Amino acid sequence: MNQFEALAARQTRLSEALEKSRIPALILNPGPSLTYLTGLHFHLSERPVIAIFQPGQPPVIILPQLELAKLENLGYSVQAFPYGEDPATWQAVVRQGMQKAELLSGSAAVEPRQFRVLELRLLESAAPQASFTSGEEIIAGLRLKKDADEIASMQRAALIAQDALKALLPQIQLGMTEHEIASELTLQILRHGSGSEIPFTPIVSTGPNSANPHAYPSERRLREGDLLVIDWGASYQGYFSDITRTFAIGKVGEEERKIVDIVHQANTAGRMACKPGAACQDVDNAARKVIESSGFGVYFTHRTGHGLGLEGHEAPYMRAGNTQILETGMAFTVEPGIYLTGRNGARIEDDMIITQDGSLSLTDLPRELITLPL
């Protein structure tokens, strides 16, 4: 299936979902969902972009005049409403677009995690009789199961990230700061073929900082006896990878080795629980049970995983209470951790795809504690 066919199929699936939900339209602004449905890339900026999707109708796109060339040679029809640089004229153009879509009254869905107040206020001013609801379930349903091309892009993103780390490890030395390590890793990610938009700034945390799951690289210098947690990812054709490994800097203490071993076991248990028909909470429970039975349950402070794709965090979520059933094509992380505040922490994370008869890990770097030479 070529790109045009894939986009047409996605828009058809959206039309079917809207009809089934009895929602007249889905309205998106720039972001992964808009790219997923149209192949178009717009930046969030002071100039709004609004796309309106309705069952069986070409998308209505309200956009700056300077972006109009992006609509050439799309391979499908759109109804464009361009505007100029004077913000005083924007509301009138938005109203024209809403009128074309027959949405001056009634309701439409938006994407709560992405839609800004800027676009919402323009819509409300242009169509004061209209109302706007959440389209989160529809959007998540569309993007939840990855096709073969999406999985191939995620596999490539994982390989790029792993190759980048392999290039980094020989350069790590005592006395380097977390910031220096993160900077070099970012450079290696780009050198090894990642797209310019990576999922997040690499998390590089050492010693006591490793007890913060979302630590930001600091000026703390690497010392012998530290645990070093590296959480990083790459992108390929817009799709992300997200990996974490924990390393020993020289000889580490018994406690450090113990928690990494437990997290390794928990990661294995979580991955083994990934299969069609299992619930998301089953994956969380499998990993959490290992850590709890070892007496460290209170120190595992986050869910076991999150969905992965065009965003670093998306559905489905591996957490307690989530009864959503895993199906072929779903992609997500398994990343248990133990965090001992003021002392040390460990996390091991892999990227998983649900297959017809089980699961596939896109990531295969060694998961056990590796001691880096000093």
DSSP string, 36-74: HHH------SSS--EEEE-TTSPPEEEEEGGGGGGGTT-
pLDDT above 70: residue 325: yes
Q: Count Cβ atoms within 10 A of the Cβ of residue 258 and give its class: 0-12 exposed, 13-18 middle, 19 or more buried.
A: middle
pLDDT above 70: residue 241: yes
For position 3, what pLDDT does the model report?
A: 81
Pairing mode, if any, of strands 350-354 and 331-334?
Answer: antiparallel
For position 1, what pLDDT does the model report?
A: 65
DSSP letter string over 71-119? GTT-SS--EEEEE-S-GGGHHHHHHHHHHHTT-SEEEEEE-TTT--HHH
Q: How far apart are CA 365 and CA 267, in angstroms?
A: 13
Q: What are phi and psi of 178, to 5 degrees?
A: -60, -40
User: Domain ranges in the chain?
Assistant: 3-143, 148-372
Q: How far apart are CA 127 and CA 124, in angstroms?
A: 5
- Report pLDDT digits (tens) over 151-202: 999 999 999 999 999 999 999 999 999 999 999 999 999 999 999 999 999 9
Rounded to the nearest integer, the mean pLDDT of the chain is 96
Rounded to 10 deg, the angle between the 136-143 and 3-21 helix axes is 140
- Report pLDDT digits (tens) over 284-301: 999 999 999 999 999 999
Q: How far apart are CA 35 and CA 115, in angstroms?
A: 14
Residues above pLDDT 90, as percent of the chain: 96
Tell me how far CA of residue 257 lies from CA of 41, 243, 338, in angstroms: 45, 20, 12
- Report pLDDT digits (tens) over 101-144: 999 998 999 999 999 999 999 999 999 999 999 999 999 999 99
In this prediction, residues 74-89 reach a mean pLDDT of 95
Judged by average pLDDT, the poorest of 4-8, 206-210, 254-258, 265-269 is: 4-8
Residue carrying the six token digits 């060339």? 69
For position 4, what pLDDT does the model report?
A: 79
In this prediction, residues 220-246 reach a mean pLDDT of 98
What topology is assigned to 3-143 in CATH? Creatine Amidinohydrolase; Chain A, domain 1 (3.40.350)
CATH number of 148-372: 3.90.230.10
Q: How far apart are CA 309 and CA 143, in angstroms?
A: 8
DSSP letter string over 300-335? --S-SEEE-SSSSSEEEEE-TT--PBP-TTBEEEE-
In this prediction, residues 51-61 reach a mean pLDDT of 96
> Which of left, alpha, beta for 101 (phi over 0: left; psi -120 to 50: alpha)?
alpha
Nearest Cα to Cα of residue 307 among 335, 282, 273? 335
Cis peptide before 316 (omega within 30 of 0): yes
For position 90, what pLDDT does the model report?
A: 96
Q: Which two tokens stand for residue 67?
A: 């972006």
Residues above pLDDT 70, as percent of the chain: 100
* Banded pLDDT at 246 (limits 50, 70, 90): very high
Contacts 24+ apart (CB under 8 A), 89-96: 90/48, 90/122, 91/122, 91/125, 91/126, 92/126, 93/62, 94/48, 94/50, 94/62, 94/122, 94/123, 94/125, 94/126, 95/126, 95/127
